């Protein structure tokens, strides 16, 4: 199977059946071979740098009822919150003092935050921190909304496609949601000029190896500047409460393959991976990831942004632990850098 890894390394696109074969027949030897290639590729493009982003989870209200998500509209046990503009700016101030050069505003699809409210927040952040990059992750919006956010200074936008297969998408979402509008949003974001990120879950309910092959084909075609890949983790207050979590090993392998497929992509070591494996963050970096996102949200709301069971928001996952995070990266030969870390 090394020839398929070499084919990826040489910037050749694999066919669907090749992705299926590679994912279905992987073994420890091929995983290590791919991992070494991914590390070499990452170092070639970024050196030993790991970019740090300050994550601000500004609302856990959401109008959607996705079957896998702990902040789904139907979860009556969720303790809801919204951060004020002043609270968000305080998070930015703390992040800036810690040396973070990118802020990531992430929230559920909360109708309270109209374009007008969001633009007021975006403008205030960019006025106070003009040299810092700003990423927004706020779900599906209209083309005009995205354009207004870009004109106000938002640099990047994250919108995971979750799964590229339409039938699988229907198995993960209620009937009012479809994969087509979501994919259209991604193409709109790219057309407007955002550094655009997408991504998918590993091991989500009803997922097949063929589905994962389709995800890899989708990102090969879309060519995102950022890519978020993490394992599915169940939440006790969702219809998927009793489903098993996704595989850490398969998640790491797909990170590795993604680095080979998209050599200069910005690839986070996700919180979900760190939740399932205490060394998940470090393993992700050694598999080709090059971004970490410590949590800047106020302490009193971190446990309320609970997308899945036992989501970590303290320790190395917290902004306050950035010194320990630097030490953790240094131990595996990498440097946590305080740069914008834009896509090149």
pLDDT tens by residue, 235-279? 999 999 999 999 999 999 999 999 999 999 999 999 999 999 999
Distances (CA, A) of 244 to 24, 68, 212, 228, 277: 19, 12, 17, 20, 15
Please name which of 260, 243, 242, 236 lies closest in space to residue 201, comparing C-alpha atoms.
243
pLDDT tens, residue by residue, 118-174: 999 999 999 999 999 999 999 999 999 999 999 999 999 999 999 999 999 999 999
Alpha helices (runs of H) in 56-208, residue ranges in sequence order = 85-97, 115-128, 143-152, 166-172, 179-192
Residues contacting residue 18 through CB under 8 Å, at least 6 positions apart: 4, 7
Under 8 Å between Cβ of 280 and 248: yes
What span, in angstroms and rounded, lies between the C-alpha atoms of 332 and 344? 25
pLDDT tens, residue by residue, 170-207: 999 999 999 999 999 999 999 999 999 999 999 999 99
Please name which of 270, 255, 267 lies closest in space to residue 226, comparing C-alpha atoms.
267
pLDDT band at 311 (very low <50, low <70, confident <90, very high): confident
Mean pLDDT of 222-235: 98
pLDDT band at 312 (very low <50, low <70, confident <90, very high): confident
pLDDT at residue 316 tops 60? no
Mean pLDDT of 321-328: 90
pLDDT at 11: 85
pLDDT at residue 19 tops 80? yes
pLDDT tens, residue by residue, 67-125: 999 999 999 999 999 999 999 999 999 999 999 999 999 999 999 999 999 999 999 99
Query: Which two three-digit tokens encode residue 299?
Result: 């302490």
Residues contacting residue 160 through CB under 8 Å, at least 6 positions apart: 197, 198, 199, 200, 201, 228
Distances (CA, A) of 308 to 67, 70, 234, 240: 11, 6, 5, 10
245 three-state secondary structure: coil
What span, in angstroms and rounded, lies between the C-alpha atoms of 65 and 82? 18
pLDDT band at 1 (very low <50, low <70, confident <90, very high): confident
pLDDT at residue 315 tops 70? no
Backbone φ, ψ for residue 185 (5° rounding): -60, -40
Mean pLDDT of 27-49: 97
Mean pLDDT of 42-59: 97
More confident residue, 322 or 124: 124
pLDDT at residue 287 tops 60? yes
């Amino acid at each position: 199977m090394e020839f398929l890894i070499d084919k990826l390394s040489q910037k050749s696109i694999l066919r669907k059946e090749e992705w299926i074969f590679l994912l279905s027949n992987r073994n420890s030897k091929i995983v290590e071979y791919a991992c070494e290639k991914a590390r070499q590729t990452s170092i070639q493009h970024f050196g030993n740098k790991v970019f740090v982003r300050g994550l601000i989870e500004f609302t856990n209200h959401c109008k959607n009822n996705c079957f896998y998500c702990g902040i789904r509209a139907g979860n009556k046990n969720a303790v809801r919150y919204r951060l004020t503009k002043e609270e968000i700016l305080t998070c930015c101030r703390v992040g800036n003092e810690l040396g973070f050069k990118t802020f990531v505003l992430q929230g559920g699809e909360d109708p309270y935050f109209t374009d007008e409210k969001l633009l007021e927040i975006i403008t205030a952040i960019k006025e106070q921190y003009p040299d810092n990059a700003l990423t927004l992750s706020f779900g599906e919006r209209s083309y005009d909304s995205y354009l207004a956010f870009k004109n106000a200074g938002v640099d990047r936008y994250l919108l995971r496609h979750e799964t590229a297969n339409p039938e699988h998408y229907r198995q993960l979402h209620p009937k009012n949601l479809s994969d087509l509008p979501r994919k259209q949003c991604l193409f709109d974001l790219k057309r407007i000029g955002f550094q655009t990120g997408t991504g998918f879950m590993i091991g989500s309910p009803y997922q097949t190896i063929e589905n994962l092959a389709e995800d890899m084909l989708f990102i090969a075609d879309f060519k995102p500047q950022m890519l978020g890949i993490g394992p599915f983790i169940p939440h006790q207050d969702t219809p998927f409460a009793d489903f098993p979590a996704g595989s850490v090993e398969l998640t790491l392998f797909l990170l590795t393959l993604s680095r080979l497929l998209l050599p200069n992509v910005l690839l986070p070591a996700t919180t979900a991976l760190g939740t399932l494996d205490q060394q998940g963050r470090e393993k992700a970096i050694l598999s080709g990831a090059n971004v970490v996102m410590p949590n800047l949200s106020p302490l009193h709301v971190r446990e309320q942004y609970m997308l899945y069971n036992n989501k970590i928001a303290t320790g190395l996952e917290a902004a306050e632990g950035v010194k320990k995070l630097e030490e953790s990266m240094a131990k595996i030969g990498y440097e946590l850098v305080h740069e914008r870390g834009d896509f090149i």
